Amino acid sequence: MPAKVQITPNGPYLVTGSLPLSNARIGTNAAGESVEWLTGKTYPTQANYALCRCGHSANKPFCDGTHAKIGFDGSETASRKPYLELAKLIEGATMNLTDAESLCAAARFCDPNGQVWNQVKATDDATTQTNFVRQTCDCPSGRLVAWDRQTGQAIEPEFEPSIALIEDPAEHCLGPIWLRGGVQVVGADGFEYEVRNRVTLCRCGASKNKPYCDGSHITIGFNEQS
């Protein structure tokens, strides 16, 4: 069965295709900046499973039916335009940057070393280019994409289809569901969202850009007890 995440009406994400599930923690430096991804708990492989979308399951990350008890409104409000129609192009020295701000999941990998929006203009410097590529590729939502100006090709990390549950110790909260490696997301109405290498889905229930994360998990302090 192909890897797929099916959104149910005001209910959980139904995952099929034996997608590996694990935790991924945002690692920080001494200044508290996001600089690396750290692998956490790995869950037993299951062919199919349901992930909580309302944020209130007592069996996180899995659904326990709480969405029905609390009257969860999971209406999908995000734009369904392809990434490149949402993104702003920023031209640089040897590389370009595309930025679809509405997809931001507030993981903050864009900020170190002077921020990627400034780095792109100095990508003719080898160190700056290295930092720029790493930081854009670490952006879990795929909001930011680096492009080689000579070839016109996007630079993407290589992922096997998988799901990671983001943890954000610096902000003392749990983050979104991170889809990696080109996982198809299907809306509650059957709409097939654009398949991208990096996608973050809301799992706190508070995003105003469902099904995508908008960083609300930080605002509400989303955690295991939520």
Domains and CATH numbers, the chain: 4-25+41-79+159-220 (3.40.5.90), 83-155 (no CATH)
**pLDDT tens series, the chain, 226 aa:** 789 999 999 999 999 999 999 999 999 999 999 999 999 999 999 999 999 999 999 999 999 999 999 999 999 999 999 999 999 999 999 999 999 999 999 999 999 999 999 999 999 999 999 999 999 999 999 999 999 999 999 999 999 999 999 999 999 999 999 999 999 999 999 999 999 999 999 999 999 999 999 999 999 999 998 8
3-state SS, the chain, equals CCCEEEECCCCCEEEECCCCEEEEEEEECCCCCEEEEEEEEECCCCCEEEECCCCCCCCCCECCCHHHHHCCCCCCCCCCCCHHHHCEEEECCCEEEEECHHHCCCCCCCCHHHCHHHHHHHCCCHHHHHHHHHHHHHCCCCCEEEEECCCCCEECCCCCCEEEEEEEHHHCEEEEEEEECCCEEECCCCCECCCCCEEEECCCCCCCCCCECCCHHHHHCCCCCC
